[in-house]
Structure 1
Amino acid sequence: MVKKVCHLLSFLLFIFLLFGCGAVQEEKPTEGNPPSGDMEPLEKKTTVVIAEDGAASGAGFYIAKEKGYFDDYNIDIRFTSFANSDDMLPALAAGEVDIAGGVSTASFFNAIAQGIDVKIIADKGHYFEGNSYFSFVIREDLQEDIQDYADLKGKRIAVSSRNAVDDYIFQRMLEHAGLTEEDVEFVLMSDFGNMLAAMGSKSIDAALQIEPLITQGEAQGLHVRFKDATDYAPDAQIAMVLGSPDFVDREEEVSVRFMAAYLKGIRDYNDAFLYGEGLNEVIDIMTKHTALKDPAIWREVGVTGLDPNGQMFVEDIHKQFEMYKSNGAVRGDVDFNRAVDTTLTDRALEEIGPYTR
C-alpha cells in the first residue's frame, strides 16, 4: 500500500512539474521577438539626457519619444535646455548631457579646437530641395525689381549672425549671384522676428529668414520667398546631433539603441511630410513639443530636412570651418577624424536597415 501511494505521489509530482513548467514558459517573452522588432531592450531602464529647446529640427527626438521607440529599448528620455551653446558644450563634454543639437559657428569650432571634446554624430538639419526652411525672402513690393540673385546688388540684406552658418549661407548666395559683400549692404539683425518688422518699415530689402516666419511673413504681405537655398547651397549642413564622448564611446549598448530609435522617428517624419503618411499624428507631436502650435501652418511651412539614415554632409562642415578660419574667427585646428563620428549611425543601420521608399 505504501509502495502504491509513493508511486501515485511520484506520478502527481511529475504531472505538476510537467504542466507547471509549461505555464512558466508561456509567461516568458518570446525570444527573438523584441518589442522593437530588432534589438532586445536594455535589461535596466536607462535615462538619456537631451539638450533640446523645442526646435523643429528636434523632430526625431520628439516623434521617437511619443511613439514609444525609446520605450521599446527601455530608454527614458529627459529633455533639458541651456541659455546658450557656451554653457551647453562643456556640459556635453563632461557627460552631464548625453545628446544635444548644435549648429556650425566659429565659437563651436573654437571650443573643439581648445579641447572641448564633443562628437558630431548625425544629421539634424539640411535642405529639402524646392522648399528650404531657412532661405532668403525679399520685400513684397520689390518683386519686380528683384527677379534674380544678381538683382540684389545695392540692396540691404539682413542676416542674423557673423561667422556662423547664417553667414556661410549668405556668402554662398553672393558667390552664386556673382556678387561680393561690397556689392550689397549687410545688416546684422540677430532676431528673426525683428526682420519681419524691418520688412514692414521698409528698412531692409531682403533677409535670410527661417520658418515658420517665412510662411507667416508671406501671409502678412511683408515679404515673399525668394527662389530656394538649394540653388547655391544644396549640401549645406545646417544643424547636427552632438554626442557626449562618454555616451558615444562607453555606452554602446545604450547609444546604438538610442540612435536606432532616433532614426525611426526621423523616418516617420519623412513619411509624414514628404509622402503624407501619418501626417496628422506627426503634426500633433510637433505642436506639442515646438513653439509652432498651429497645425494648419505645419501643413504650409518648409520643414527641416532630416536624413532618415542620419547621414551628414561632412564635406560641407569642413567648408564652414574653413570659412570661419579664413576670416580669422577660429583659433587653432580641428581634427575632423576625431570630431565627426558616424559609428552610431553605422551600427544602428546594421540593426534596422537603411530607409527605403
Structure 2
Amino acid sequence: MSRVVEVETWRAEVPLAYPIKFKWNTITHRDCVVVQISTVDGLTGSAIGLSRGAPLDVVIQDMLADQILGHDALAVEGFNSRSQEANAFLDQTGMLAQARALVDLALWDIRGKSFNAPLWKVLGGSRLRAPVLLVEGYAIQGESDEDFANRVLARVDQGYPAIKLEAAAYKDPNQLFERLRLIRDRQRNDVELVVDVNGSWHNLREARWMADRLVEFDIAWLEDPFPHHRTDLLRELTATANVPIGFGDDVTDPQVLMKLIEERAVDVLRVDATTLGGIQPTLDVIGAARQADIPVSGHAHPYVHQHFSFAFDEMQYVEAFPDDPAFEPSSKLTTGSVYPSVNQGWLARPEEPGLAFDLDLERIRGWATRHQTRGEQ
C-alpha cells in the first residue's frame, strides 16, 4: 500500500504583468491553491487550481485531509467515497467539490508515477499530438485595434489553428466587432476564433443581439454568455442563436453538465477537472458528451486537460496560454508551462509520469500567503 503520510497546501497570489480589466473589476494577480500529497514510499502528487479568493486550502486541510492520511494513495475512489460520507450534511458542490478535485488530481498524479506512466496513457490514450486553442485575445491597456489584431494574427502565422478572444472587457461592443473584422479581413478561413464573454451578460435580449452580430465573423463558438447559475437563459439562447454556444467553465456539479447534454442545451461543452470534482466526474461528463455527439473543450489548466485531449477525440483542443504576455500565470508555480512545447500550434504529448509537471517550491513559498501541513498521526 502506498500510504499517504503528509498533506501540504499553499495559498498563493501570482502577480500579472498585464492586469486584466473586466466590466466589473480588474485582476492584478491570480489566486491559486497548491496541494502536494506525500506517501510513505517517497512518491508525491501535486495539483494547482484557481481559487478566486476561496479558501480551498483550508477546506483541504480541515475537511479532507483526514480522509487521505493513512490511506492508500492509489485508491482514489476510496478517498472520494470517504470524503462524501464525512461531509454528507454539506452541499457536495461549490468549494467542497473544488477542494476535492485538487486532492483527486494529486492522487492521480501519484497513481501515474506508481505506474511510471503519464496520465493520458493511464486513461488509455494514444494520440501523438493535439492542436492548441491559444488564449491570446485579452485586451491590453493602451493597445490600438490594429495592434490587437496584429498580435492575434502573429499567433496565426505561428501555426495556431484556434485562438480565443476575451470579450468581457468591452464596454462598447463595436470595438470588439472592429477587432474581429480586422482579423477576419486578413484571415478568413485559416483560424478558428472563440469569443469568451465570461458570464458577463444577464439578459436574453443583449445575448441574442450580440450573437446575431457575431454571425458574420464565423466564430467557432460563443463562450459562457451567462453566469453559471443561469442555465435557463442558456437553453433559450442555444435554441435560437445562429452561432454555436459553449458553456461549463468552473461548474462544480457534474449533474448540471449532464442535464445540459441531455437537453442539448449547449453546442460545445466546457469542462474543468479542477472544479468538477476530479478525474472520474470529468470522464463521466466526457462520455455523456460523446454519446450525444457534442464536442468537449477543457478550461485552462493544460497540465491536466492535455491528458484528456491525448486520450479522447471528443476533447480536441488543448487550451493554453502564452508565457509572454502571461495572462494566466499559475504555471509559474511549476518548473515550466506547456507553451514552450508547442510547435506550429500543436502540442506533443508528455512522456513524464503522472500529470507530467513539477512544482517550483521556491516560487510557491515566495508568493504564498498561507501554508499548512498535516501529517499522519
Please indicate, yes or no, whether the TM-score normalized by the shorter chain is above 0.5. Answer: no
Structure with bigger strand share is 2
Larger Rg: 1
TM-score (norm 2): 0.26
Q: Which has the higher contact order (CA 8 A, sep 6+)?
A: 1
Q: Greater helix percent: which structure? A: 1
